[in-house]
């Protein structure tokens, strides 16, 4: 395998004027996005293909990236697309060592036009982002790296803010598609693709669920043709404060008493549907070792997370809604950020983290079983609501 081009200059420029120089890898040119960091030590392929990273430049805290190459099985986008705007790393492995790898990380980034920078002091960079927050940034490589820094900083500052960004339609499927269940069909679930990870429908299919994936903002009247036993809303990028249409769809789902399960962006949408506010976190939660406490059971889970916005509230807090009493069920043990919300009657629940665990721990995987159990117990009533 050829060695990386050691002579291609690159520069990472932050909106606040901080500059990090290094060497380019992947495609060459200019890319803009919000600089964020992930503490995950493994799973860079899953990270890069996660649609929730749309319009973000991801910084890896793991010091060496690329050693397991790239394969045709682990991508988390439906089409295998890399969604990050750019990639910042300390060291790029010069060789690939994994029996499933078919090519290198750099080869895939070149093929998909993704610009990266390596040789960066990522410890200093991550500390800067932790102290001052996620920020607009740009990677400039090749001849673009030689432009005056003031000019590059002006380009960085000229890009749109992440706060107020409505991005789900940019990553969602254009047309519905169906995944048939493994074994006998137990239920039908309509899954709203706000930026869904490909492993999520697989966990539903494994449980005998016919899964109909539909575009973001599809009206409830359109999904009733599938006679869903449950509705699922996925993870996705952007500011949940812009998701007014999807919030109203979820309110209609709750009024129809159809069982509901949401993760990540879906958690924020359910929270808004129940009357909670959202806000932008300083630097977000992005990693695969985030501790979360379930205030109902007092059990602690180690979770995979990727979000820059959160619901406002306090762990264990109960509040009234149009649909009955609700409760904040989970919070993060690191900073008390809300990590889950539910109706007290159990008909709707959501979590901020990723139970599909790609990559990450499997602590939260039983949440899919909880959804199946909810549909089992609610089936007679939900059948009436569908008709």
Whether pTM > 0.85 for this model: the answer is yes
Q: Return the pLDDT at 6.
A: 58
Q: Would 2 be classed as within a structural domain?
A: no
| Domain match, 205 and 108 both | no
| Domain match, 357 and 304 both | yes
What distance in Å separates the CA atoms of residue 90 and residue 84, rounded to the nearest whole number? Answer: 17
Q: Would 4 be classed as within a structural domain?
A: no
| Domain match, 125 and 191 both | no
Q: Would 334 be classed as within a structural domain?
A: yes
The DSSP bridge partners found for residue 104 are none
* End position of a domain, from candidates 100, 123, 157: 157
Q: Return the pLDDT at 358.
A: 77
Q: Would 348 be classed as within a structural domain?
A: yes
Tell me whether residue 354 is one of the annotated catalytic residues.
yes
Q: Return the pLDDT at 41.
A: 93
Per-chain mean pLDDT for the chain = 94
| Domain match, 185 and 147 both | no
Structural domain for 243, as ranges:
168-386
Q: Return the pLDDT at 365.
A: 85
Mean pLDDT across 325-330: 98
* Residue 309 annotated as lining a ligand binding site: yes
* End position of a domain, from candidates 134, 157, 180: 157
Here the CATH number for the domain that contains residue 118 is: 3.50.30.20
Say if CB 4 and CB 27 are below 8 A apart. no
Here the CATH number for the domain that contains residue 372 is: 3.40.50.880
Q: Return the pLDDT at 387.
A: 52
| Domain match, 248 and 200 both | yes
Phi-psi region of 183 (alpha: psi -120 to 50; beta: other; left: phi over 0): left
Catalytic residue among 34, 106, 339, 356: 356
* Residue 308 annotated as lining a ligand binding site: yes
Question: Nearest 5°: CA angle at 37, between 164 and 75?
Answer: 90
| Domain match, 180 and 130 both | no
Q: Is the pLDDT of residue 225 over 90?
A: yes
| Domain match, 228 and 321 both | yes
Q: Is the pLDDT of residue 385 over 80?
A: no
The count of domains in the chain is 2
| Domain match, 244 and 372 both | yes
| Domain match, 145 and 225 both | no
Nearest CA to 356 out of 119, 136, 50, 133 is that of: 50
Q: Would 163 be classed as within a structural domain?
A: no
- 3-class SS of residue 173: coil
Q: Would 1 be classed as within a structural domain?
A: no
Q: Return the pLDDT at 3.
A: 44
Task: Spell out the alpha helix ranges (H) of 274-318.
Answer: none
* Residue 323 annotated as lining a ligand binding site: no
* Residue 236 annotated as lining a ligand binding site: yes
Q: Would 294 be classed as within a structural domain?
A: yes
| Domain match, 364 and 250 both | yes
Per-residue pLDDT of 53-93, as tens digits, reads 999 999 999 999 999 999 999 999 989 999 999 999 999 99
* End position of a domain, from candidates 135, 157, 179: 157
| Domain match, 231 and 260 both | yes
Quote the tokens at residue 271: 């929270």
Catalytic residue among 46, 54, 264, 285: 264
Q: Is the pLDDT of residue 386 over 60?
A: no
Per-residue pLDDT of 108-144, as tens digits, reads 999 999 999 999 999 999 999 999 999 999 999 999 9
* Residue 221 annotated as lining a ligand binding site: no
Say if CB 299 and CB 364 are below 8 A apart. no
| Domain match, 325 and 276 both | yes
């Amino acid at each position: 395998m050829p060695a990386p081009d050691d002579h291609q200059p690159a520069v990472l420029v932050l909106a606040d004027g901080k500059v990090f120089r290094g060497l380019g890898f992947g495609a060459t040119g200019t890319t803009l996005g919000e600089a964020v960091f992930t503490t995950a030590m493994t799973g860079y392929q899953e990270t890069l293909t996660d649609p929730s990273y749309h319009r973000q430049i991801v910084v890896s805290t793991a010091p060496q990236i690329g050693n397991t190459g790239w394969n045709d099985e682990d991508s988390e986008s439906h089409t295998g697309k890399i969604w990050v705007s750019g990639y910042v790393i300390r060291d790029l492995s010069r060789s690939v060592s994994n029996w499933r790898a078919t090519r290198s990380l750099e080869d895939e980034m070149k093929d998909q036009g993704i610009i990266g920078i390596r040789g960066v002091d990522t410890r200093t960079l991550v500390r800067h982002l932790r102290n001052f927050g996620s920020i607009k940034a740009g990677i400039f490589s090749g001849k673009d790296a030689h432009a005056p820094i003031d000019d590059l900083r002006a380009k960085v500052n000229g890009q749109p803010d992440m706060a107020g960004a409505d991005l789900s339609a940019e990553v969602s499927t254009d047309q519905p598609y169906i995944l048939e269940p493994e074994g006998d069909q137990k239920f039908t679930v309509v899954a709203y693709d706000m930026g869904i990870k490909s492993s999520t429908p697989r966990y539903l299919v494994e449980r005998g669920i016919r899964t109909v994936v539909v575009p973001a903002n599809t009206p409830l009247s359109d999904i009733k043709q599938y006679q869903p036993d449950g509705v699922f809303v996925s993870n996705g990028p952007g500011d949940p404060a812009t998701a007014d249409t999807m919030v109203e769809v979820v309110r209609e789902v709750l009024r129809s008493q159809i069982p509901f399960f949401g993760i990540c962006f879906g958690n924020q949408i359910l929270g808004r549907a129940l009357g909670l506010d959202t806000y932008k976190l300083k630097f977000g939660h992005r990693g695969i070792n985030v501790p979360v406490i379930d205030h109902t059971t007092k059990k602690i889970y180690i979770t995979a997370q990727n979000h820059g916005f959160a619901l406002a509230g306090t762990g264990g807090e109960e509040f009234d809604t149009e649909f009955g009493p609700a409760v904040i069920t989970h919070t993060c043990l690191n900073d008390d950020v809300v990590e889950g919300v539910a109706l007290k009657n159990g008909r709707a629940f959501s979590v901020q983290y990723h139970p599909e665990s790609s990559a990450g721990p499997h602590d939260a995987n039983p949440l899919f079983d909880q959804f199946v159990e909810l549909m089992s117990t609610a089936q007679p009533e939900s059948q009436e609501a569908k008709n």
